[in-house]
Amino acid sequence: MSGPDRHAEAFLEMLAAERGAARNTLLAYEADLTDFAAFAKARGELPARADADTLRAWLRGLDDAGLSARTAARKLSAIRQFHHFLVRENIREDDPTALIDSPRLPRSLPKYLSESEVDVLLAAARDRPPAQALVVTAALELLYASGLRVSELLALPRAALAGDAAMLMVRGKGGKDRVVPLSDAARAAAGTMLAALKKPGRWLFQGKGSQALTRQGFGLMLKQVALVAGIDPARVSPHVLRHSFASHMLARGADLRSLQLLLGHADIVTTQIYTHILPERLQTLVQTHHPLADGAEAPARRRG
């Protein structure tokens, strides 16, 4: 591997072995470490010995190159974790990233579909050509019913839906397992798809040969369904369905802790992005239940 030094190689090996980091994650970290190593060496420093001034100069360079604050923050996160590893392994005593502020990120709300748009999307999925309709309907029902990540959906083995189980065991990020509920509609759609399969296979969503359906293959089907549904395909993705699941659950009264467990978030801070839905929900509660709200039947007031 060119670029990162031996310490970076050891760090990447740790990510793969201890945290079960995916290949794409490892490639992204390797690219960030290579970029930082080149910058540090140009200043006459080894990347594992770089100081806070070098880190600040590197971040300024990212900004001068026109990279967004979000991209810079992601790159800095990789370098932070690298230095945490160096300290943990006693390769260096100090952590210069502790002195570095993360780029300020613009607040962005998750994109999601309305409940009626999800209904229209599912109706369009059922109207696709039969072979595709079975697959895309089952996939959409599972995504929306359980808030799965697309990687979790496509990694489901056929055995996961054996019998009449009301719950589904999912392997999430970092190899962590969690249990998510199955709606009757999702279980029925998946069962119909499985009954129509003509050859054995390992995966619930079978791709070419013995491989699972790819993200690209499923993404293409989803865009086609969105077009038929009259929804801008740019607004529809597996992650948007996950956001829709979370937003609609919270709007209908789910609490954040339960939502955190369902989504497989390690930190509830991540789940809190969905609190954008709370103002609308609270307003509805007041309008519906407050005794002086329009349309509410106000009790007779006591006279003094």
- Catalytic-labelled residue, pool 158, 239, 276, 281: 239
Q: What is the pLDDT of residue 293?
A: 61
**Catalytic residue flag (residue 43):** no
Q: Is 242 a catalytic residue?
A: yes
How far is residue 122 from each of residues 82, 154, 181, 196, 288, measured CA to CA in Å? 44, 19, 19, 19, 30
Confidence of residue 19 (pLDDT cuts 50, 70, 90): confident
Q: Is 199 a catalytic residue?
A: no
DSSP 193-262: HHHH--S--SBSSB-STTSBPPHHHHHHHHHHHHHHHTS-GGG--HHHHHHHHHHHHHHTT--HHHHHHH
Half-sphere exposure of 116 toward its Cβ, with a 13 Å CA cutoff? Answer: 1
| Residue 286 pLDDT | 64
243 carries an active-site annotation: no
Q: Which of 7, 75, 187, 242 is catalytic?
A: 242
Count of C-beta atoms within a 10 Å radius of residue 254: 14
For residue 159, what pLDDT band results from cuts at 50, 70 and 90? confident
The yes-or-no answer on residue 149 being catalytic is: yes
* Fold (CATH) for 6-99: DNA polymerase; domain 1 (1.10.150)
Determine if residue 209 is left, alpha or beta; phi over 0 gives left, psi from -120 to 50 gives alpha, anything else beta: left
Catalytic residue among 29, 112, 144, 274: 274
Q: Is 187 a catalytic residue?
A: no
Strand partners, 178: 170
Q: Which of 74, 80, 158, 173 is catalytic?
A: 173
Give 265-303 pLDDT, tens digit per residue.
878 878 887 776 666 555 665 667 667 766 544 444 333
Each residue's pLDDT tens digit, 73-86? 889 999 999 999 99
Confidence grade of residue 142 (pLDDT, cut at 50, 70, 90) = very high
> What is the average pLDDT value for the chain, to the nearest integer?
85
d(C-alpha 133, C-alpha 129), whole Å: 6
Q: What is the mean pLDDT of residues 41-51?
A: 91
Closest CA to 57 of 74, 70, 38: 38
The domains of the chain are located at 6-99, 115-284
Q: Could you tell me the pLDDT band of residue 112, with boundaries at 50, 70 and 90?
A: confident
Q: What's the pLDDT tens digit per position in 167-176? A: 888 887 777 8
**What per-residue confidence (pLDDT) applies to 300?**
46
The yes or no reply on domain 115-284 and CATH 1.10.443.10 is: yes
Look at 32 and 280; give whichever has higher pLDDT. Answer: 32
Give me the catalytic one of 149, 178, 276, 281: 149
Q: Is the pLDDT of residue 218 over 90?
A: yes
Query: Residue 178: phi, psi to the nearest 5?
Result: -145, 160
